Structure 1
Amino acid sequence: MSIQKTLQNLKCIKKYGNLPTNTHRKVAEVVISYASKTTTNTETPAAVFSTLTSDTVRLVLSDRRIKTRECLSFFNVISENRSLIPFTIEIEHYVTLIHRAINSRKFEDAETLINSLANDGNLRYPFSDVVSLAESQGFDSRILSTLFNLMLKVYSDSGKFFAAFETFNYMRNNGITIDERTCGIYLTALLRCEHLGLGLVFFYKIVESGMDVSIVIDGLCQNGEIRRARQLVEAVCRSVEPNVITFNTLVNACCERKNLKELDLVLLLMEKQGVERNLETYKLIIDGFLSFGNLGGAERMIAEMHDKDFHVGIYLWNSIIHKYCKSGRMESAFQVFDEMLHRGAAPNAHTFHIMVSGICGIEKMEAAKELEKKIVRNEIELDHDIFSDLINGCCKKEKLDDIIDLLSTMEKKIDNLPSTSQVAYLKIAEVIISSATQISTATKTTAAILSTLTPNIVRLVLSNRRIKTGRCLSFFNIISENQSLIPFKIETEHYLTLICRTIKSFKFEDAETLINSLANEGNLRHPFSNVVSFAESQCLDPGILSKMFNLMLKVYTDSGKFVAAYETFSYMRNNAIAIDERTCFIYLIALLRCEHLVSGLVFFYKMVESGIDVSVYSLTVVVDRLCKNGEIKKARELIEAVCKNIEPNVITFNTLVDACCKRWNFKELDLVLLLMEKTGVELNLETHKFLVDGYLSSGKLGDAEKTIMKMHDKDLSVEIYLWNSIIFKYCKLRRMESAFQVFDKMLQRGVVPNAETFRIMVSGICGIGEMEAAKKLANKMQRKEIELGHDVFDDLINGCCKKGMLDDAVGLLSMMEKKGLFGDARLYNMVIVGLCELDRVEEASRLLSIVVKCGATPETSFIQFLANG
């Protein structure tokens, strides 16, 4: 619908009143759509807004077929452009949209609208108007409850306490559900603003309404108003008896916020009111004391719980023991442990774990071992955590014999532990890695740790997924650098285990470094057969397997181990392992660079037969190497053989064309061009240049001309130097007529000759002694504002001298001098000799002085001739 049609409909509505609902909807949709768009046309929006009416707005906001989000956007636009609409936004508009927002669960938007309704124009729409409209509209109870609770919150947030109180009373008197948390917000706002009297009245109202007082108190506490919450309880406790749940709410808030001073006051009020602490109260207080670091207070609470015959869970005792252990106060921990036993509480496995962990933390390993025996006597099974702490403590004290004993015990006692004993080995491995990677002057410790390693431990470290790949690499590098300290030789399995991990972690550079060590250390001490054996036994993921062997192929190539590289390639090919063409390309280039042409050719054919997606670049490098070796025919036949699998491109053929042209092998060149046509590869600019150069170098000037003509016909950019090359060849052969024919063709093709073109032509004309024609061409160059250079002047002067035109030669030398140029000394000497022969000694002397001034050395015979003259 166009803007003009929209305006017409709106004007009709304004003039005649209601139209069919569908028309209202369409008009409203266009208005909403247009109003929400950004436009540079300021007149049209004004025209649209000026035609709106209060009734149109109401119809838009109440139309259920228009989405609530669009209604909100529409209302925001007209609210921001009130000066353009011919009416005042009414309370009905607000309430209609608030109702829709609540119904669509857009509570934030509803609250924003209520805020505008309540605060715009200093409460321009009083609460009574809202009530009247809500009652007349017949809102359901859920909408009413949300609406008035939001109003209560908005009034509270904006400090309109009496309006909020009025809202609360209305809800209470009309049976509308009141949210205790909203009441908490109102009460908090009252107390913050020191309206204690009104706060008390409101609190009494809450109590009378039968609402849960604890939720209100909890709301105050969550807002950080613990002191005011306690004062409120204290103020109303004469008429309202707070229960233990109310006090627990206060206790919990004090403990969470570590407000010990307020906690004491709450407990004192609790005692004053005769409210007994229950189990939950004690738990909250103990947790609070533990978080405060008041361990003595926590102990007293537990003792009090025992005295009152409360059930004291073992976790409370464990919590206190854990705190003492964590702070290193093991003596106090043991005292609590003894008190626990005295009270008849039976320690569990976690209790012993905490104690063992604490003792190991202070590295009292003898005491830890005694406690271990005590655990066994109490028939408590040693779990992973206890073993881990004992092993960790032994590692810190470097008691490697004890580590081995613990490992042995652990394997016997824990039924579900895998045969590799990963948990224990993990702990040992972590300490070994940590010790080995630390910089320390105490080399004996490192040596002692490394001397306890076994091949199995190394394997378990490298294969343990809980140890990061980076740490495994560091560990492996250290044992590799200190092989004299370990009692075994690093095995192929160790390398390959870590290589697989690095590949899986995308650390390809590290994987390549490891493969390089594996392949080249000790003159291939780890042969390829060992690698194959490991790969087949491990059932590796195909992706990892492919990456590993491709990296091996690359490493063998880089290190010149071509036989091993070919063995790798053959294994991958025979076992259907994905081969990377790029890696094969690297191997192929390496073979060709090392003059292994036959091997390279065999490998290339194997690549094609293997079904690898061989790139044209691989084909091109083989062709290039064959051509450089003079095997042009073989290169062409290679292309013919593989062109069904690999599409040769113009670069491939240009390699052949260039080789044919340089070797003047035009018979093979014709076959190459025929093959290009057969495979549908077009000759490009570079191809034509090769052909022109080849024809020129071999004296086939006609073919060179034809090639240039074809280039023009194909709209290829024919550079001027190609024309110049042909003209130069004709001039050199003294075939000036042909040179001028080429020159004319060049002009016909719209090619503008440059200075070099004219220089070549002048030189050619001078070469056949046609000096008048040469001078005319030189004058033409000057008219075209082409500067005559040294070469042109040299050719003209030389020709004039040979023809006996000394005056012209002298004139040309003079012209050169005016241009700031100095001719070749040979030319000056030639002119001087001619002048001397005609007894024009004065002119010859002048030229001789120029030669001397310019630093050239004239011939002695000329000087003697002038002196004698």
Structure 2
Amino acid sequence: MVAGRAKLSTLTFLLCRSCFNYTLSVGLHSSPKKIRAFNILHQCGNFFLDNCIKSIPVGVLLSWPTFAPCNFGCCQSFSTQASLAEIVDGVLTEILSVMANSQSSGEELCAAYIDKFCNDKNLSGAIRLVRTLHDKNIALPSSAYNRLLKAAVDENDICLLCQTFKDLLLSCKSLNSSTYLIFAQAFIKENDIHCLLRFVREISDLIFPSSTTVMNRIIFAFAECGQVDKALLIFDQMKSLKSKPDVITYNTILGILGKCGRTNEMLKEFVAMKEDGLIPDIVSYNTLITGLRKVGRLELCLVFFREMCERGIEPDLRTYNALIDSFGKYGNIEESLRLFSEMKHRGICPSVHVYKSLISILRKMGKLELAVAFSNEMKESISNRRGPNYIQRKNR
């Protein structure tokens, strides 16, 4: 019964593709009506293709007459007697045939096969197919990688998850942020730190020198899903590996510690960063100032503000936003106004947020005339940025 359904599904797929190939060969050189027919068949072909792949059980042997390759291409079934390599080779042959006949990238077909392998819990086949497609320079959509990683997560096997992630890193040039997040989320309920650190060491050796970039993204993903301590463990591990922390790594760690209010640790890592011979950039100083202002350490904010200026690093809008807002909220309006004047002198246009913050503080302090003056200045600044055409449209 299962074999019969598989035969029918595969026959439907072959017939659909036969129609598609025939229309492809004659439709583009015919009337507009035939071109419309071609478009309809193309859409139908994609629908049947996806559903036929999903309906064929892996391991079913199809024993029925072979169709001529000139009409149907090379379509091989998943056989009970076939090895994993033979199954993947058959899938690859089918993918290449469809790509050659339809002149498409084959991404949807590849993703459908990956999805099928995962649904059948055949992760070995899925990983082997990913590797083979990579070797053939055939691109996969990011959804296919994420599907494979989620399948590994569903198995509740951290070792398998780590191996799958390593295979993905080797099989494609780059993974998107959602893929890293899926990997990190799998460790929320997993306390096997030794497995995680072993994975970090293996990655460092496996894809060096690009491993530092990968580590940075892993650290960020762990922090994003609330696993700060594990992110810091990975960072500490990096210090003893080939893939040493770079400026981006340290900036990420400064941001993590600053958000958690762990400013003493943040300051310690900032010192370590400079001791490692790395030069802090504008992001480093802004992250440091933002973290310090949250706990009210304004004097240190000014110390690092002066230090960055002495190093020749020009403060930007974010730097001034943090300082002006902080000093104003802590009652030092004079310092806020001085920084505001300095910002404009440097040619940095104040944001609406800065204006509103100053106006609110001045009103609370009873300095209403100055608050009104800043309010008018803000309106004029907004008008100048949007231009006269915007004002005319708004007044209609």
- Counterpart code for 1:482: M
1:304 and 1:455, CA in 2 relative to 1: closer, same or farther beyond 3 A?
A: closer
Are positions 1:244 and 2:131 aligned together? Answer: yes
Whether 1:428 and 2:323 are equivalent positions in the alignment is yes
2:109 equivalent to 1:220: yes
Which of 234, 247, 250 is the equivalent residue of 1:336?
A: 234
The aligned runs of 1:471-482 (5 Å cut-off) are: 472-473=355-356, 475-482=358-365
Q: How does 1:469-868 map to 2 (within 5 A)?
A: 472-473=355-356, 475-482=358-365, 498-505=375-382
Question: Contact (CA 8 Å) 1:226, 1:253: kept in 2 or not?
Answer: no
Report deviation, 1:229. Answer: 5.7
Q: Deviations over 1:95-131 (max 9, x none)?
A: xxxxxxxxxxxxxxxxxxxxxxxxxxxxxxxx8xxx8
2:254 touches 2:288 (CA, 8 Å); kept in 1? yes
Secondary structure class of the residue paired with 1:346: coil
How far apart in 2 are the matches of 1:423 and 1:156? 51
The Cα offsets for residues 778-812 of structure 1, whole Å up to 9 and x where unpaired, read as xxxxxxxxxxxxxxxxxxxxxxxxxxxxxxxxxxx
Residues 1:432 and 1:324: Cα distance change in structure 2 (over 3 Å): farther
Residue 190 of structure 1 corresponds to 52
User: How much has 1:505 moved relative to structure 2?
Assistant: 3.1
Residue 97 of structure 2 corresponds to: 211
Contact 1:227 1:262 in 2 (8 A): no
- The one-letter amino acid of 2:186's match is N
Query: Which residue of 1 is the match for residue 182 of structure 2?
Result: 291
Distance 1:141 1:156 in 2: 11
Deviations 1:465-485 (A, max 9, x none): 35216x62452243244158x
Residues 1:453 and 2:335 are matched in the alignment = yes
TM-aligned CA deviation for residue 286 of structure 1: 9.8
Give CA deviations for 1:406-429 in whole Å, capped at 9, x if unaligned: 1111211134x16xx654322212
Give per-residue Cα distances to partners, 1:36-58, cap 9 Å, x unaligned: xxxxxxxxxxxxxxxxxxxxxxx
Residues 73 and 97 in structure 2, CA contact (< 8 A), matched pair in contact too: no
CA pair 426-151 structure 1, distance change in 2 beyond 3 A: same
Q: Which one has the largest radius of gyration?
A: 1
Gaps of 5+ in 2: 1-18, 77-92, 188-192, 389-396
- Distance in 1 of aligned mates of 2:210 and 2:56: 43
Alignment: residue pair count: 314
CA distance in 2, matches of 1:359, 1:449: 26
Output the amino acid matched with 1:499. N
Find the aligned partners of 1:483 and 1:231 in 2 and give their Cα distance.
Answer: 67
Asked if the contact 2:352/2:378 (under 8 Å) is kept, the reply is no
| 1:244 shift after superposition | 2.0
Aligned-pair CA distance for 1:346: 2.2
Name the CA shift for 1:257/1:334 in 2 (closer, same or farther; >3 Å): same
In the aligned structure 2, how far is the partner of 1:255 from the partner of 1:208?
20
Kindly tell me: are residues 278 and 383 of structure 1, through their superposed partners in 2, closer, same or farther at Cα, counting changes over 3 Å? closer
The question of 1:349 aligning with 2:247 is answered yes
SS at match of 1:342: coil
The AA in structure 1 aligned to 2:263 is M
Distance 1:260 1:472, change over 3 A: same
* Superimposed CA distance per residue, residues 485-516 of structure 1 (whole angstroms, 9 cap, x where no aligned partner): xxxx987xx8656523313435xxxxxxxxxx
Structure 2 residue 167 is the aligned partner of structure 1 residue 280: no
TM-score by length of 2: 0.59
Given candidates 150, 157, 164, the residue that maps to 1:260 is: 150
Counterpart of 1:392 in structure 2 is: 290
Q: Tell me the secondary structure at the aligned position of residue 382 of structure 1.
A: coil
**Partner of residue 374 from structure 1, selected from 266, 269, 272:** 272
Q: Is the 8 A contact 1:352 1:375 kept in 2?
A: yes
Q: 1:404 to 1:490 in 2, by over 3 A?
A: farther
* Percent sequence identity over aligned pairs: 13
Q: Name 2:82's counterpart in structure 1.
A: none
Return the alpha-carbon distance in structure 2 between the equivalents of residues 357 and 218 of structure 1: 38
Tell me the CA shift for residue 249 of structure 1.
6.6
Residues 459, 213 of structure 1: alpha-carbon distance in 2 compared, 3 angstrom cutoff: same
1:151–1:356 CA distance, 2 compared to 1 (3 A): same
Distance 1:192 1:149 in 2: 29
Q: After superposition, what is the alpha-carbon deviation per residue over 1:288-315, rounded to whole angstroms, capped at 9, x for unaligned? A: 3532413577765543344557654311
What is the distance in 2 between the residues matched to 1:260 and 1:390? 36
Per the TM alignment, residue 456 of structure 1 is displaced from its structure 2 partner at its CA by: 1.5
Give the partner amino acid of 1:219: E
Tell me the C-alpha RMSD between the 2 structures.
5.1
Which runs of no fewer than 5 residues in structure 1 stay unpaired? Answer: 1-126, 159-181, 436-447, 507-539, 545-869
In the alignment, the residues of structure 2 paired with residue 298 and residue 256 of structure 1 have an alpha-carbon distance, to the nearest angstrom, of 19
Residue by residue over 1:338-360, the C-alpha shift from the partner in whole angstroms, topping out at 9 and shown as x without a partner, is 32222222221101101111111
Alpha-carbon shift at residue 325 of structure 1 (Å): 3.3
8 Å CA contact 1:360–1:393 kept in 2: the answer is yes
Q: Which amino acid aligns with 1:465?
A: C
Q: 1:496 to 1:250 in 2, by over 3 A?
A: closer
Measured in 2, the distance between the counterparts of 1:203 and 1:264 equals 36
Are the counterparts in 2 of residues 361 and 393 from structure 1 also a CA contact under 8 Å?
A: yes
Q: Corresponding residue for 2:300?
A: 402
Shift of 1:398: 0.8
Q: Are 1:467 and 2:358 counterparts?
A: no
1:246 alignment partner AA: L
CA distance in 2, matches of 1:472, 1:285: 37
Q: Distance in 2 between matches of 1:496 and 1:348?
A: 46
1:94 is matched with none
Q: Which amino acid aligns with 2:74?
A: Y
Letter in 1 for 2:109: L
Offset, 1:190:
2.6
